[in-house]
Structure 1
Amino acid sequence: KVKCYNCKKEGHFAKECKKVKVKDYEYYKTKMLLTKKDKDEQVLLAEDQAWMESSSDSDLPINANMVFMAQIEKVLSDSESSSSSADDKISEVSYYLSESKSDLSMRLQNIMIILLLMVCL
C-alpha cells in the first residue's frame, strides 16, 4: 500500500494530500541551505564584478614586460612585411633584449622568445 509522507496515512501520495504540508526538520534544513547557497552565489558574483573592474588593462601601469612585448610584436610584424634573413631578425630582437638584462626572470623569458623565434623561422 502507498503511504503519504505528509500526514503518514495510507491510501494516497503526499502530492494528493489534503492536509497542509508538514514542515519538518528536513524542510527547514533544505530551505536554509538553499538560502545560504543563493547568498554565497551573490557574494561570489559581487567579488567577480569587483575583480573584473579592478583588472582592467587600461588601469595597469606600463611596465618593462609590456614595452618589451610591444617591441617584439613590432619586430615580428616588420619582419613579416620585409624579406630579411633570420640572422637580421634575431639581431634586431637581441637589440631590444639587451635593455632588460638586469632581471634573471626577464632574461630567461627573453631567451625563450629568441628560441621560439628561431624555431618559427
Structure 2
Amino acid sequence: MRRALNRAAAVLTALLIVIGAWTVQAPAASAAVAATCPSVRGSSNVEVPARVLKSPRAAVHNGPAAACRVTDYVPYGTTIYKTCSWMNLSTGNWWTLTNWGWIYEGYLDGNLARPCG
C-alpha cells in the first residue's frame, strides 16, 4: 500500500512539472502565432453568397492562415458573403475574406471570389 502511494505521489509530481512547463511556454507560442499570421488586405465591391459546409461550424480567423487568431465561428449551412480570396503560399491553401472574417476556402461552397489586393 505504501509503495502504491509513493508511486502515485511521484506521478502527480511529474504531472505538475509538465503542466508548469506548458504554462511557461504559452506566451512564446502566442508570439510565434502572431509572427506567422499574414497581413492581407481585401478589396472588392462584389460580394458573392456562399454556404458554410463545415460541420458543425467553421472557424473565422483574423487573417488568411490557420495560425491566425480565431475570432468567431459560423454554423454549418449559414449563408456568408465572399469578398475576395487569397492563396497562402506557405501552405498552398486558399482563404476567403467574408463578411464574418477570413475562412478557409475548403469550408465554403462555390467558386473562389476575386483575388484580394
User: TM-score scaled to structure 1, two decimals?
Assistant: 0.35
Q: Which has the higher helix share?
A: 1
Higher relative contact order (CA 8 A, sep 6+): 2
Q: Which has the higher strand share?
A: 2
